[in-house]
Amino acid sequence: MVPLMVELLKFRQHQAHGTSLVAIVFTGLSGAVAYGFERSVDFVAAIALACTAILTARLGAKFTAVLPEWKLKRSFGAFLLFVALLLALKPYFPHFHFSTTLAGKVFVLLIAGAFTGFLSGMMGVGGGLIMVPVMVLVVGLNQHTAQGTSLLVMVPTGAVGAWTHWKLGHVDWKIAPGLIFGVLIGTSLGARFAHLLPENHLRLIFVAFMVVMSVRYLLTKSPNQQKA
């Protein structure tokens, strides 16, 4: 949504981020309900992630005017490429875990939630690109449950981020109804379609999506390159 709003609707980058978060609240709500009917939501993991995400989402939204955007995008692109590599190699190290204890997994989820919330508030994204790999590789959830859980976490996280962006004047309410209507339909259909695919196929599709996004972020030009 953010690239489309910037490229096609000529939104300012900050405005696109804030408006995107409004739609993401409904994306998460619709998707979580659809995945919930398939019993593909882990509520314990969702609570752990949301506890810290809602605290840092506000900070991320306020931080949008501080850090140069091109530097953040390049760093995020490198991170996405690294995570995509881990997920692509997952079948070759099925016992790969950072922690095997319950306390350790909760700690990792809290840290992931904090990072996700900050990034969500700042970049106007749902944060699934971070939460899903953490839940798959560290916690050991299957791909479907990880995606359903991340959608549930998007609801409170996106709401806090959207509220903060609205206070900063970064939300365009003129197009918000259209975005919300579209995501309510698209997310529900997407969630149902996901359960028709084998887990390995779904994981590879997710990897491909992350690679495409990472390339876009890594190719972000600095101000000097734009002038050249």
Q: In whole angstroms, how far apart are CA 214 and each of 39, 131, 172, 218, 219? A: 31, 16, 27, 6, 9
Number of H helices, E strands in the chain: 10, 0
Residue ranges with strand state E in 93-188: none
pLDDT at 50: 95
Task: Give pTM, 2 decimals.
Answer: 0.76
Residue ranges with strand state E in the chain: none
Q: In whole angstroms, how far apart are CA 40 and each of 36, 37, 109, 146, 162? A: 6, 8, 18, 8, 26
Tokens of 108: 């990792």
pLDDT at 160: 95
Q: Are 19 and 170 in contact (CB under 8 A)?
A: yes
Half-sphere exposure of 111 (CA within 13 A, CB side): 10
**pLDDT tens for each residue of the chain, 228 residues long:** 777 787 788 888 788 889 999 999 998 988 898 889 889 999 999 999 999 999 999 999 988 877 777 877 787 788 788 888 877 877 775 555 555 677 888 888 999 999 999 988 988 888 887 888 888 878 888 888 998 999 999 999 999 999 999 998 889 999 989 988 988 888 777 767 777 778 788 888 888 988 988 898 788 888 877 766
| 225: Cα separation from own chain's centroid | 28
Q: How far apart are CA 28 and CA 6, in angstroms?
A: 22
